[in-house]
Amino acid sequence: MAVPESIRRRVEVLRKEIDYHNYRYYVLDSPVIPDVEYDRLMEELKRLEAQYPELITPDSPTQRVGAPPAKEFRQVRHAIPMLSLDNVFDEAGFRDWDRRVREGLGQEEVEYAGEPKFDGLAVSVLYRDGLLVQAATRGDGYVGEEITNNVRTIKSVPLRLMGEGWPRVLEARGEVYMPKSGFERLNRELERRGEKTFANPRNAAAGSLRQLDPNITAQRPLDIAFYGFGLVEGGRLPERHSEIMDRFREWGLKSARERIVVRGVEQAVAYYRRMLERRDQLDYEMDGCVFKVNRIDEQERLGYTARAPRWAIAYKFPAEEAITRVLDVVWQVGRTGALTPVAKLEPVHVGGVTVSSATLHNIDEIRRKDVRIGDWVWVRRAGEVIPEVVRVIVERRPADARVVELPKRCPVCGSEVIKPEGEAIARCTGGLYCPAQLKGRILHFASRRAMDIDGLGEKLVDQLVDRGLVKDVADIYYLTKDQLLGLERMGEKSAQNLLEAIERSKRTTLARFLYALGIREVGEATAATLARHFGSLNRIMSASEDELMAVPDVGPVVAAQIRAFFRQPHNLEVIDKLKKAGVHWEEGEPQQGPKPLEGETFVLTGALDSMTREEAKERLEALGAKVSSSVSRKTSYVVVGHDPGSKYDKAKALGVPTLDEAAFLDLLAQAEQGRPLD
């Protein structure tokens, strides 16, 4: 059956549209249609080609995947050798190269093209009459491996050149790489499937590009940056390297956005320093900058050595990875009690600094990477990021290498260490006592929703702890005015105000006190629920995990954290010390049956005369009500004080009942006396 002319025209239109949008997205990084519209165009083209297979051409956007797996890679001889570049590793070496270039050209200053040196795999992509016909690896510079079908799967590589004016034969050379974001996604997916992960983006790119099955390559997030050319026949290229790269972009051949033209060595060094600073902000790995004499005729005058061009140099960044040995593993305790393993290393130079320690993140990561004391490991440092152990060189593992174990006791205070099932982080349970957690615990203890000690801020807490005046949260209640007056920026009035705030905080509620203790997983709502359910601190402290799990919203993880906290003698000593200092609250009987306002949801808006909003919330929650911050159709009542906000307007619009202060106080009285609500 003949293909209707209208279908032929539609297929051509679709291909041109898709090629244009690929160019906007992958080369210019400036899409003009949403992904859903692009997908619609591609699906239509696939449907038409499936219906009329005779319309399928090698350069159709649908043909990036589908070639059968190769048994082996065929060898390809490069018409013009793909030579490597000479390297320099410091400014003195770079300036020496510039001097040789200037002397070779007889010039005082040379125009250079500068570009990032992508850390990937060099490839050659050959176009005949604008159509991609062959792609190959660099290999030894003279002979590479044919990877045409794999390169066709990379969406930033055009199957047909765009625009006009390209030579009949054009060999474009570039670096295939894997963006950092794509590398992280790929490793997460491989880990999820239980497969081996890649050590770094370069290995991932090389491994993906050298797959015998192009369908696997197609699933990998590869990209390319073209940086030069080889064979050119049947046409001419511009006279400057920078202009050639501009022309490449017009033809759909992507090049680095960070390219630049500089005049002289000072501008080149300044560009190198800027790129070194930006290194960790960019979404690709780069291991230096490449500088090329910009004029092609000057490149030809300078010529080549046996292995590299004289007109180009790779000015390398300080190495970000190095090999060293793990001497020991120590455990640091953070402000929240989290235990972080740190590898103590044989000192090694990485990323411009000497590194003697690196993070191991957590015990699960140690086990996943199988890091042992005595191992030889790869260490990575990126910018200001804390160095980390990337992988172990198992082949070099000594016979006496020791397995790393999670400590059972906190290395700082000796309290029990627990690691709930399913969580990566192990924590010290000596929350009220552990010196490593002290400053964070004090700030939480004194916060407005906990003990509400006004004036006890971060800078003051730093001084109190650093001078040894407060060794646990209970010491706050034993501070004297003389001690406070000895602190920086603490006058008579400030000291008196703080002492009065501390005194006021002694009268609290069981819910607030529980929350102030900072028990892991016990937030405000859980603390209030526990207080209502048990009525007293002693009952909570002596409750078993099963009894705790009988409380609404308390599951096995929360119950385990509560039991672990109250098992620590140090925590019990601090609680006893707080009580002796005068911290107190009203206790009641365990909750019997449902609370009067259980199932009701209240919203508070505006100011009340008889109590603060926080006090109103506590009284409502004590009666079993839920207090929400937003009004919905499920809201039972909105309590309206002076100068109410938009919540009052929303309540009226939704028809939610409202209570003024008098009606609210009457409702509280009825509920607290056990009388039925009106």
Active site residues: 117
Strands of 178-320 (E only): list them. 223-233, 260-263, 286-293, 312-316
Report yes or no: 171 and 125 within 8 Å, Cβ to Cβ: yes
| Residue from 210, 224, 220 nearest 172 by CA | 224
Strands of 35-168 (E only): list them. 75-77, 87-88, 111-118, 121-128, 131-137, 143-145
Distance CA 616, CA 638 (A): 12
Q: Could you tell me where the DSSP H helices lie in 455-491? A: 458-466, 481-485
| Residue from 151, 165, 156, 161 nearest 251 by CA | 161
**Burial class of residue 417, CB neighbours in 10 A (0-12, 13-18, 19+):** buried
Structure tokens, 532: 């209502």
| Residue from 7, 9, 18 nearest 64 by CA | 18
Angle made by CA atoms 277, 283, 287, in degrees to the nearest 5: 55
Distance CA 368, CA 410 (A): 23
| Residue from 351, 314, 321, 268 nearest 88 by CA | 314
Cα torsion 185, 189, 195, 199 to 10°: value is 10
Report yes or no: 145 and 74 within 8 Å, Cβ to Cβ: yes
